[in-house]
Amino acid sequence: MTMKRCVLAAMVMLATFVVAGCSRLPGKPKAEERWVAPAQITDFNQLYSQSCAGCHGTDGRLGSARPLNDPLYLAVANADALREVTAKGVAGTAMPPFAEQSGGSLTDKQIDALVEGMRSRWGRPNDFKDVALPPYSLQDAINSGSGPGDTQRGANVFATYCARCHGADGRGGALGGSVVNPNFLALASDQSLRTTTIVGRPDLGKPDWRANVSDHPMSPQEISDVVAWLVAQRGNKLVVGQDTSNSQVSSTKVAGGLKRE
């Protein structure tokens, strides 16, 4: 009986050593190296590299599209706005939808990981806690008490704040390119024009709404007016209303039947 017990104990010990040894087999991947289904990836760096870096730059800067590594932009555009544009894209532009429900490949959890990652890594909300930030969208501006954009007033606003760089007619000047080029306006949504007016393009030397004229920041109404003037340069009339597909304010072309969102 004693011999049987010794043999059994030896077999148990041998089995234990074999099982333990299997976890250290040569070539077996570590936990962090194992394949993960695309829908289960929630690492910000991997998601950003695969979905965003091609247009917005490796570190959120120096890409062909707006820099996302911009604390002012992240202060003006709240998490809901970022989530909406990431999920649903911007119709008529190069920004595609990424949410599965809109034909993309990312889950809601992955979109949340992207938005939270951008804001935690690149946002600096304390830098703007004492700054009166303009409303992000036209609808937000109207809800805050300013009127819709007016093209005639917008022409005067452009002459005051923008013509020095972009020329009296917007076709380009010594310090800036054309902002009435039809190819540019065809690719820029109304919200994109508004966002650039507010936060500028630091990567291109375009100042934000505070620095076009020294010590004279643009008011929310002036921002809405100059955007209305820019929209009018592509033959569109700005229409107040929330676009549920991408949180952009819609504009409908007066001639030619082209509808932009």
Beta carbons within 8 Å of 83's beta carbon, 6+ residues apart: 111, 112, 115
**CATH classification of 41-128, choosing from 3.40.1350.10, 3.20.20.60, 3.20.20.70, 1.10.760.10?**
1.10.760.10
CA R_g for the chain: 27
Tokens read off for 104: 């993309």
Give residue-wise pLDDT tens across range 22-70. Answer: 556 666 777 666 777 888 999 999 999 999 999 999 999 999 999 999 9
Cβ pair 240, 249 in contact under 8 A: yes
Domain with CATH 1.10.760.10 in the chain: 41-128, 138-260
**pLDDT > 70: percent of the chain:** 78
Write out the E strands in 53-109: none
Instruction: Enter the pTM of the model.
Output: 0.79
In whole angstroms, give the CA distance from residue 209 to residue 222. 10
The SS3 call for residue 142 is helix
Could you give the angle at the alpha carbon of 66 between the alpha carbons of 201 and 204, nearest 5°? 30
250: left (phi over 0), alpha (psi -120 to 50) or beta: beta
Tokens 């509808």 belong to 259
- The fold adopted by the segment(s) 138-260 is Cytochrome Bc1 Complex; Chain D, domain 2 (1.10.760)
- The residues pairing with 201 across neighbouring beta strands, listed in sequence order, are 206
Give residue-wise pLDDT tens across range 157-203. Answer: 999 999 999 999 999 998 999 999 999 999 999 999 999 999 999 99
